[in-house]
Structure 1
Amino acid sequence: MVNKVALSVDEAERILAHPLNLVWPTLRPGRSARDVIQRLESAACQKPIARSEPETSMLGQMFGYGPAKTWGIELARDLRSWSAGELPWAEVDRGIVLSGPPGVGKTVFAKALAKECGANLIAASLGRWQACGHLGDLLKAMRRDFARASKQAPAILFIDELDSFGDRDTFTHDHRDYSVQVINAFLECLDGVDGREGVVVVGATNNIARIDPAIVRSGRLDKHVEIPLPSAPDRIAILHQQLNQAISVGDLSRLATCTEGMSGADLAKAVRDAKRVARRAGREILVGDVAAALPEVIRLDAAHLRGNAIHEIGHTIVGLRLSHGKYLGTDLAYQISSGTAVSTGGRACFEIASVRRRDNQFYFDQIAVCLGGIAAERLVLGTTSDGAGGDDRSDLAMATRMATLAETQFGMGGTLRFSKAISDDSLEHLRRNDPQLCARIDHMLKTEMERATSILRDDRHLIVRLTEELIATGKLTPERVSAIEAELRNRRNLTAVRATMPGSKRKA
């Protein structure tokens, strides 16, 4: 049914100034244009119900952000100098991309950054811009947010789900032209005819590999910082902050292990659940309430613990024998949390120099170290668990990724052909569609698995001794590993000397 309402041009413009989802229900047969305008303007004047949101702390008072926090505090200092006319805008960082798993607090970071900088915060995303309508509406909404940020400078323009734009080089769908126009318009906004003076763009993503390289090139969002899951001290500090200091850090410290692998969002939910329990009981919150709200902690049995220890010792020994990097230590978890997305039984830590020659052997050694854990399990236990695989950060995933890149990007395999594929999805596509590539990757993985096994076979006694130590203490330091190696070496030398002494029993 068509709703016919007589309108002048001026009345039509006043009506169309309102959202269309409000306009259509207001147009009724027999209702005058004046009545329609009054209803729309009356609705626009009504204030939405005020909802209180938790106060966001300044970035300097937040925990778990690592290098991103350092960057933000330095930015705040530079913005104050710029506002005072002491620093030209060309000297200020104008953008950053934050990446990390869901729940680490990328959105909260933007709020805390704006507060630290004394800047206005404008939140946006491609999804919000797309909701405005067709391509023209999307581009208008995008440019409007950038213009609003410029008017409110200094401003933080936070763009969530930055990977939604995609990478133009990978577009093959029917709407390719549409997507290319969106990215091109976004790049124009990032460049800005006036240099975006006073506007800092913060992009957030869970997958940095899916972002068009032009977005993160120099002069645009050229700073990238990964926000990891919070460390044990940070987790306790986050709990303490979420609880408004109602429970001491000392009392919360016993929750460090059972919060392992939890993000800031996970911890915030646990605190909300604990507060609800205390509120319904009509009392102050207790550390026991928080503990009860956390996922169940499962104590590993002896067999599981020994398997994990052997696995981590495999990584440790192969890494040491191949001079994989600076050895920092090995940890073993006695218990795991059942409700976290990331749960690890231990880790062997090596620090790789950021600048070094990365030749064929470097990547082959990397693969061998990744496979050292599963090689140790096979050698000692005669079987393996599923701990070496399971997700894109597992040993097998990293080894396969490096082997594929060595073949398709670095010219270290059976062909010199170069591929731009870098994301796990695109690398998997290459493997599925090229049987010869798959065969070469399998050969590389098999070769490095045999090399890792050979290294460990020569160190059986060291595997046993380090495994015993790791299970007993839960941690190995570089100094302790060196001491155990020296102890075994001295014992072998002593045995050899005794074997040469007169009267010693010799094997026929």
Structure 2
Amino acid sequence: MAELEAGLHLDDVALPDNEPPTAEALCRERGAASLCGLLLLRRALATRPGFLATAAAPRSISLLRMPSLEWLDDVGYAWSCVTEEHDRQAERGEVAALERELGDPRLVAVRVRQQQGKRIGSRRGAYVIRVRGAAPRMAEAEFLSALSQGRPVHVLAADPGMVHPTVRLGVQQGLRVGLPDAALLADLALLLRGEAEGSVPHAALPIVPPGLAGRAAEVLPLHLLLADRPGISAQQMLDHLDRMLDPHHAPWTEEADPEGDGGAARPVARRDLRREVRLDDLPGMGAAGPWARQVAADLRAYRSGALPWTELCRGAVLAGPPGTGKSTIVRAMAAEAEVPLVTGSLAEWQGSRDGHLGDLLRSMRDCFATARRQAPCVLLIDEIDSFPSRASIRHRHRDYVLQVVNGLLELLDGALPRDGVVVVGTCNDPSDLDPALLRPGRLEEVIPVPLPDAEALVEILRVHLGRGRGGGDGSVDHGMPVSEDDLLDLGHAALEREATGAVVERWCRDARRRAAAQGRSVTAADLRTVLGPGRPPVTPALRHRTAIHEAGHVLAYEAAAPGCVLEARLTLRGPLAGATELHPDRNPAVPPLHTPRSLWLTLRAQLAGRAAEEELLGVASSGAGGSPQSDLALATRMALTLLGAHGVGCEPEALCWHGPPEHLSDPGTRALLPPDLRESVQELLTSAYAGARDLVRANTALVNDIAGTLLGTGRLDGQAIAKLLGAHGISDPAADADEPEAAQAGEARR
């Protein structure tokens, strides 16, 4: 037969007899990490049946999202093996078709050789981009040249945000390769030992230890390299992985002299007695406790594939006084969910280099990119109130701060997805947070973390003295003779001092150090010494007056905005000895917009403590005034700024802007204000105080009931308050007024 166009003769060609190794064999030969990468890749491809075919198409651009940067090489190698295997299967189909068409095997071989020479656009000619590092780097000319030649492009990246923008623009399909789980690790161990699940008796199948099952997503190629040792069984390999990922496990150290008479040295495992803090170790969390437990459960379900990201909480802000354990709650939540914790703050990002805007924004982006690579995870932004509300920025660096806040908003809910990343901010005062931070899809809600009550303080003492919660045997472990009665007494002493969990921890640490210096165990006397004498005790008469005062506040605030009171409490020591705390999201003093009615109702609530004292005890004390944060000071500032800066409640002929709120609230400039404005403020406060007395007078039994319960328990939460209100109901004399007294004050003056 004549020679063919490729210069080949039938006698010179033959079909190959040797079958190339499979993808599984190639990955097994390379090591445990590559074989694991193959299993992860096949699991992802099973959800996208047409992905390989599309990836072979000329000029197609396919993106493979790696589980993390550490998996890039091994999953990338598995991808090359799978694509080559897919090519061979496609060629076998072509050969079978040619055999049916040509008949002669030699003609088939010649045609196959010719087609291989022309297969420029096949996957063997694919242009592969592996994205590493924090900045996208790529030879753009080579990429465009590959496309012009008709070659497909395969992009392998742990973070799609790091892919070159030109490449990202043309991506046609994407595939997300997930992290390992317990079932995949069991399959991997069997494959590495040369066994298949069906060939092993059920009783002999390896069991993934519970600790490893919970931390399977943390397994990295390095762990597999260390765990895959010759001569060990599949079960031994899994047990070795479990030990490596156990947070209590420490490297082995060598004890005994290897050359001494005692024979060979024996490795002794030293175990770190510290452990990760869990949510059960944190009593007194308030509403943050149930929220954190739910988020932890949802993250575990998301990691296992049982819950989609669309069903998870995107984030929240934990707000409370310093030392209440907000950051500790977030760490415990991540530990409970068995996911990584990534941390950041404005101070950290700004201090990463020299504080230039570009460096700050780059550090912020890098932190979020790290979180996306480790997803599912928790990202903690500490002191998030460092990002101010954009509406409050008045200084000359406004443009700088605006771009910083806008950068954070973009990262929370911008073009780049953050699937699997729950963002939690912590702060002391959420009132100055930009409202855009709390929108759905970003941080969504503010969750208060209150000061611990007496019961919680007792449990905190138990935790830090060494005994688990809910002991009940009358003493603390490790021989420390602190009885249950002593713990209760110390808990009340801590409550008198308005102690936080952090303060109690320091007290316990100081007491242990004091006892250790004397060579003995800690005692209750050590703790009392550390606590000190405390403030003078509150007399029964003052405590009763304080309970009446706080009951008046509770009544008026609940009448203005039902459900707004988070907590009312008394202390056993100190001059004020009481406080009423409002829910950050329902505080009637900070609505989106004030009207004359909402202003009057809020002023009434701020002055209702004084009104309750006067109505029920015959005379008001000085407790409502004095400091800049007193009831009277807050009410005066609020009336002054809303009348003078916002014009709320002003008559048309008196309407005037007297300056910004911060100017009007400055005591140094208040004397310079127009007399008519000062007169309007005084009339408004007088009207609101009269309304507060009317409200207390109409609900005397309810105020006494709230005060009596508060005297008995020392603290009332929102549920207890709702129960009391439900039993009595609130009779509000101003309920039917359209604009009670607030608008009437100006009319009377006119």
* Residues in 2 aligned to 1:427 and 1:53: alpha-carbon distance in whole angstroms: 57
Please tell me whether residue 413 in structure 1 is matched to residue 635 in structure 2: no
- What is the match of residue 291 of structure 2? 71
* Residues in 1 aligned to 2:710 and 2:338: alpha-carbon distance in whole angstroms: 50
- What is the match of residue 406 of structure 2? 184
The aligned amino acid for 2:631 is D
CA RMSD of aligned residues (A): 4.8
Q: Which has the larger radius of gyration?
A: 2
Distance 1:84 1:404, change over 3 A: farther
Distance 1:425 1:172, change over 3 A: closer
| Residue pairs, 1:10-409, within 5 angstroms | 55-131=275-351, 132-133=353-354, 134-245=356-467, 246=476, 247=482, 249-260=484-495, 261-300=498-537, 302=539, 305-313=540-548, 316=551, 324=559, 333=571, 335-336=572-573, 344-346=576-578, 364-375=600-611, 384-386=621-623, 388-390=625-627, 392=629, 394-400=630-636, 403=639, 407=643
* Residues in 1 aligned to 2:297 and 2:656: alpha-carbon distance in whole angstroms: 44
* Residues in 2 aligned to 1:98 and 1:468: alpha-carbon distance in whole angstroms: 29
1:311 and 1:374 in contact (8 A); partners too: no
3-state DSSP of counterpart to 1:289: helix
Most deviating of 212-221 and 231-240: 212-221
* Residues in 1 aligned to 2:440 and 2:656: alpha-carbon distance in whole angstroms: 24
Deviations 1:162-220 (A, max 9, x none): 11121222222222221111122212211243420121111111121222222222211
- Match for 2:680 among 428, 440, 452? 440
Distance 1:241 1:428, change over 3 A: same
Most deviating of 306-315 and 147-156: 306-315
The aligned amino acid for 1:385 is S
* Residues in 1 aligned to 2:710 and 2:348: alpha-carbon distance in whole angstroms: 52
Most deviating of 256-265 and 324-333: 324-333
Deviations 1:295-332 (A, max 9, x none): 42344465xx4245335435546976998479999976
Kindly state the Cα deviation for residue 349 of structure 1 after the two structures are TM-superposed.
9.8
Kindly state the Cα deviation for residue 449 of structure 1 after the two structures are TM-superposed.
2.6
The aligned amino acid for 1:414 is C
* Residues in 2 aligned to 1:215 and 1:180: alpha-carbon distance in whole angstroms: 13
3-state DSSP of counterpart to 1:110: helix
* Residues in 1 aligned to 2:362 and 2:566: alpha-carbon distance in whole angstroms: 52
Kindly state the Cα deviation for residue 468 of structure 1 after the two structures are TM-superposed.
12
1:331 and 1:470 in contact (8 A); partners too: no
2:546 and 2:570 in contact (8 A); partners too: no
Distance 1:207 1:85, change over 3 A: same
Kindly state the Cα deviation for residue 148 of structure 1 after the two structures are TM-superposed.
0.8
* Residues in 2 aligned to 1:328 and 1:225: alpha-carbon distance in whole angstroms: 11
1:375 and 1:453 in contact (8 A); partners too: yes
3-state DSSP of counterpart to 2:436: coil
Kindly state the Cα deviation for residue 139 of structure 1 after the two structures are TM-superposed.
1.4
2:624 and 2:632 in contact (8 A); partners too: no
Bigger RCO (CA 8 Å, 6+ sep): 1
Q: Alignment identity in percent?
A: 32
Distance 1:205 1:320, change over 3 A: closer
Distance 1:257 1:403, change over 3 A: farther
Kindly state the Cα deviation for residue 78 of structure 1 after the two structures are TM-superposed.
1.1
Kindly state the Cα deviation for residue 425 of structure 1 after the two structures are TM-superposed.
5.5
1:315 and 1:369 in contact (8 A); partners too: no
TM-score, normalised relative to structure 1: 0.68
Please tell me whether residue 428 in structure 1 is matched to residue 665 in structure 2: yes
Distance 1:110 1:301, change over 3 A: closer
The aligned amino acid for 2:331 is K
3-state DSSP of counterpart to 1:297: coil
* Residues in 2 aligned to 1:181 and 1:221: alpha-carbon distance in whole angstroms: 19
Gaps (5+ residues) in structure 1?
1-51, 338-342, 482-508
3-state DSSP of counterpart to 1:108: helix
1:311 and 1:372 in contact (8 A); partners too: no
3-state DSSP of counterpart to 1:443: helix
TM-score, normalised relative to structure 2: 0.48
1:311 and 1:376 in contact (8 A); partners too: no
The aligned amino acid for 2:461 is L
1:318 and 1:456 in contact (8 A); partners too: no
Distance 1:57 1:408, change over 3 A: farther
Kindly state the Cα deviation for residue 469 of structure 1 after the two structures are TM-superposed.
8.0
1:60 and 1:73 in contact (8 A); partners too: no
* Residues in 2 aligned to 1:65 and 1:365: alpha-carbon distance in whole angstroms: 31
The aligned amino acid for 2:604 is A
3-state DSSP of counterpart to 2:379: strand
Distance 1:151 1:470, change over 3 A: closer
* Residues in 2 aligned to 1:269 and 1:280: alpha-carbon distance in whole angstroms: 16
Deviations 1:207-265 (A, max 9, x none): 21222222222211112101111111111111111111134554311123221211111
* Residues in 1 aligned to 2:416 and 2:465: alpha-carbon distance in whole angstroms: 44
* Residues in 2 aligned to 1:137 and 1:350: alpha-carbon distance in whole angstroms: 39
The aligned amino acid for 1:287 is A
Most deviating of 472-481 and 100-109: 472-481
* Residues in 1 aligned to 2:581 and 2:334: alpha-carbon distance in whole angstroms: 35
1:129 and 1:138 in contact (8 A); partners too: yes
* Residues in 1 aligned to 2:664 and 2:424: alpha-carbon distance in whole angstroms: 28
Gaps (5+ residues) in structure 2?
1-271, 468-475, 477-481, 726-750
* Residues in 2 aligned to 1:471 and 1:121: alpha-carbon distance in whole angstroms: 40
3-state DSSP of counterpart to 2:293: helix
Distance 1:388 1:269, change over 3 A: farther
2:548 and 2:613 in contact (8 A); partners too: no
Most deviating of 427-436 and 98-107: 427-436
Q: How many residues align?
A: 420
Kindly state the Cα deviation for residue 83 of structure 1 after the two structures are TM-superposed.
1.1
3-state DSSP of counterpart to 2:426: strand
* Residues in 1 aligned to 2:420 and 2:414: alpha-carbon distance in whole angstroms: 12
